[in-house]
Amino acid sequence: QVQLVESGGGLVQAGGSLRLSCAASGSISSINDVAWYRQAPGRQRESVALITKGGTTNYAVAVRGRFTVSRDNAKNTVYLQMDSLKSDDTAVYYCKAQVLGTRRNSRWTSYWGQGTQVTVSS
């Protein structure tokens, strides 16, 4: 079984920074793309950033230049550094990872974390 656990959320003033972590654990052979999403109250979940296994990154227009996604493959952990935070960034942040298990005949499967709350006060 595979688990994703996000951490690092909290309350921060506008203009401040937070670093989120997404740690994968369990029977993991390999992790491919990992994406960060967020969902604000009353809004649909939206993509924020993505990082491939090789380190290629992609960002939503709303966060480009302010957020940085990175990964430590040895630790099965992906980070989201969020700078210059705005009140519009307030949301629950989720990570999603494509994981290959260790069992024979395992297939790539997407897993979600439980989310971490980010609140930016203006």
75-100 pLDDT, tens digit each:
999 999 999 999 999 999 999 999 99
What backbone torsions phi and psi does residue 89 show, to the nearest 5 degrees?
-85, -5
The average pLDDT across 108-112 equals: 96
* 44-78 exposure pattern, b = at least 16 Cβ within 10 A, e = fewer: eeeebbbbeeeeeeebeeebeeebbbebeeeebbb
Please state the rounded mean pLDDT for residues 104-122.
95
Mean pLDDT, residues 8-35: 97
Rounded Cα distance between 96 and 68, Å, is 16
